[in-house]
Structure 1
Amino acid sequence: MSGPGPGGAATGRPRALVVGAGPAGLATAIGLRAAGFDPVVLEQAAGTGSVGTALTLWPNALAALAAIESDPAGGDPGGGIAAVVHALGQPAEGNQIRAADGRLLDDVPAPTMRSRFGGTGIALLRADLVGALQERLGADVVRTGARCVGWRATADRVTVRLADGTEESGDLLVGADGLRSVVRAQLCGGRDELSYAGYPVWRGVTDFDLGSAPGLLSMGRGAQFGLFPMTHGRAYWFASLPLPAGRGAHLPAREFLSDRFADWHRPVPQVLAATADWQIMVTDIYERRPVRRWGQGRVTLVGDAAHPSTPHLGQGTCQAFEDAAVLGLRLRQGRSVPEALRDYEAARRTRANALTRQARMLGQVGQWRHPAACWAREQMIRRSPRGPRLRQLARMFSFRQD
């Protein structure tokens, strides 16, 4: 049995199925609608409420969001959702890297970021981002309580099987179902195992006014701590430490972190002291090796389902938005659906996979514990030539649809 859903035969427009109603899936659905499809988003959870804490978006993410709704022929520039999302976040006044004792290792001030990269990073609640994307898309597009258990495809149709016994059919399928993607698992045939990265990440949002502070990453012996200002006098922070898988969930988070970061520079201990246990989430970090095959026929992947990344570049959601924009553009260009999907994959694979590898490397470097290794890491950051460093950041923070 196939659920009616919106669009399809009722509108005469082709129908697109998206598995997953996180930022990747919702942005993809907006792009598919702009490309002439009627999207149906299938979400396994009972609702799309306040899951997660906060996240950061960089200039390439906002440029991609604007491109999702823009006219590639040069008409109405659109980009309304990008403006909405930008207004939800607090711009970080630059970006810094410090040692655990507060010594400045790298500094990219806000004027440089705005002139070289087109903007700064912003931090916002994940729930606010999801809410804005869903409002833009329309609540009737998302079907909750719809857990995908598999799919089948023919030359001209794709059907998703759901856990409740129902099915949904469409002209294409996009797996936006994250790190443990069911769509990807079937594509890869079970030969694509997760591996534990060696550490969890704790995240929290608390009332702590950082003023017009830059985004900050501090690095110590086997530990990292990130800090971003948010709207309404709040702060978003994250921390990582090497631990066996599953251990972090059984520790008293604030007590454990407060002890571990007690001698770090201000305001790291003060921010932790201001955070209640219920405001802290911990997630074990898993990764997969980058792969070249993201789809077949009328099926493709976006976001973490395609290129799951460790969080150290803050590019996970940013790259998902780039996926959504490029996929929408390729589908607008009038080629068959399978051709458009392969073009999208070819356009995105090299960049997304390269950033996945870079994030993994940074995560490994951040876990160095030996004093000599930490000293070498600090020297590497401090002595890195400014020109190449800015060019590297410019490449990461730039988005091009082609």
Structure 2
Amino acid sequence: MRTAVGRVIIAGAGIVGLSTALSLRRAGFEVAVRERAPRIRETGAVLGVWPHTIRELERLGLGVRLAEIKSERSVVRYRDFSGAEFDTTEMPPARTVYRPRLSALLASAVGEDDLRTGKELVDYVEDRDGVTVHYADGDHERADLLVGADGLNSRVRAILAPGTESRHQGGHHVWRAVLPFDGEIGDGCPVLGRDRTRGALMRLADGSCCWVIAQFGATTSAARNGKQEALARVSNLHDGTWPFALREAVLATPEESVLHSRVAVVPAISRWASDRVVLAGDAAHAMSPHIGSGASLGIEDARVLGDCLRRADIAPALAAYQDDRIDRYRHVRRHADTMAAAPTPLSYVERFSEYLNWLHNSRTR
């Protein structure tokens, strides 16, 4: 094992960028995380954290602090819109984590001295000895390595691999919110309903409530706001014959609290790295959230990149990382495509179970 020495700039302070900072710091690098937003703010609601994700976070040195996210361990089960449970192969247990809480934990571990906001990367110039990063405010800085962890519409990816713009996944929309809610919500079991609609209502560790409604092939109306669009799909998830307070929770949500996303994905790309620049997380492989492991896979990227940089100099380490990740995501995409094409709720659950067990049991190099 060699002692890595150098400075790395990480574009993006989301969960993957912060995880990458911890991983590369453990590899011996001085880390500089740069976020274009004026402050660290994770949008979204909850993450399903699988056993392999906990292992990756422990490898990044967060084992003792993981109790701070106060996640609940649960067995993954699904119901149909009548409330009946699907009889499926056992899945690995999950933990439900409030996304902003995990982000805050990672940011605290990185430390404010190594993290700056309001720094939007607009360009970089790579040479034999390093990379110079240019920002929208006219500033620039130098490093030995640049990591693009800047998400779905990555500027780093646009420069490194032109023509790889994200694209919408035909008619796939998601509505979600977190709110105080005192009503009985049940066991939090996700529902796979009619017309390719999926939804869940769950209690978070702090007592608040999270609901999520998603639909493939959705047709939206300009005359309806996000809350109305979500309400229009509740009947696909609940036939009214069993206790499920999804409609009540949506009705109790202020319109401005409803987050709506038209799901976009990054096509499979053949170039993740040059000699001094590399991609991680959604910047390299954003896929539909129906696979339930986007953040988990990005955290895995962070750990693998750190492992490669501990074993080799920067250029060969990035080449090894690229080879590892491209091979890994060839299998992930095969599973994702299979799940997206599932003709029935039961077939989706069966394929999801197969994917999660593969993810849980597979080993990266």
* TM-score normalised by L of structure 2: 0.87
Aligned partner of 2:206 among 232, 255, 264 = 232
More deviation, 300-309/341-350: 341-350
Change (3 A) 1:63 1:249: farther
The answer to whether the aligner puts 1:141 opposite 2:104 as a matched pair is no
- Which residue is 2:177 aligned to? 204
SS in 1 for 2:8: strand
Structure 1 residues 188-241: Cα deviation after superposition (integer angstroms, max 9, x where no partner): 12x113221122211111334668835424232132213443112233222123
- Choose which of 286, 297, 320 in structure 2 pairs with 1:343: 320
The answer (yes or no) to whether the contact 1:24–1:321 under 8 Å persists in 2 is yes
Residue 393 of structure 1 pairs with residue 353 of structure 2: no
The size of the alignment, in residue pairs, is 354
1:165 aligns to what?
A: 138
Once the 2 structures are TM-superposed, how far is the Cα of residue 122 of structure 1 from its aligned partner?
A: 2.0
Verify: 1:99 aligned to 2:80, yes or no: yes
Q: Please state how far the C-alpha of 1:166 moved relative to its aligned partner.
A: 1.3
Select the residue among 323, 340, 345 that pairs with 2:301: 323
- Cα distance in 1 for residues equivalent to 2:292 and 2:352: 17
Change (3 A) 1:210 1:57: farther
| Alignment map for 1:273-292 (pairs within 5 Å) | 273-292=251-270
Residue 358 of structure 1 aligns with which residue?
335
Cα deviations by residue, 1:104-142 (Å, 9 ceiling, x for unpaired): 22456xxx65xxx4xx32222222111110100111111
In structure 1, distance between residues paired with 2:333 and 2:265: 9
| 1:344 Cα deviation from its structure 2 partner | 1.4
Query: 1:88/1:220 Cα in 2 relative to 1: closer, same or farther (>3 Å)?
Result: same
Match of 2:166 in 1: 194
* CA–CA separation in structure 2 for the residues paired with 1:248 and 1:348: 39
Residue of structure 2 in register with 1:181 after alignment: 154
Against the structure 1 CA distance between its residues 214 and 268, is the aligned structure 2 distance closer, same or farther, given a 3 Å change threshold? closer
**1:61 corresponds to:** 53
The answer to whether the 8 A contact 1:200-1:248 is kept is: no
Query: What is the alpha-carbon distance in structure 2 between the residues aligned to residue 392 and residue 140 of structure 1?
Result: 39
Identity of aligned residues (%): 29
Cα pair 1:217 1:224 within 8 Å, conserved: yes
Q: Compute the displacement of 1:293 (Å).
A: 1.4
1:390 shift after superposition: 5.9
Q: Which residue of 1 aligns with 2:11?
A: 19
Gaps spanning 5+ residues in structure 1: where?
1-11, 70-80, 366-372
Q: Are 1:253 and 2:222 matched, yes or no?
A: no
Q: Which runs of 5+ in 2 are unaligned?
A: 239-243
Which one is further off, 307-316 or 234-243?
A: 234-243
Compared CA separation, residues 43 and 378, structure 1 to 2 (3 A): closer
- Residue 4 (structure 1) aligns with: none
Q: 1:370 aligns to what?
A: none
- Identify the match of residue 264 of structure 1 among 225, 237, 240: 237
Q: Given that residues 49 and 127 in structure 1 are in contact (C-alpha distance below 8 angstroms), is that contact kept between their aligned partners in structure 2? A: yes
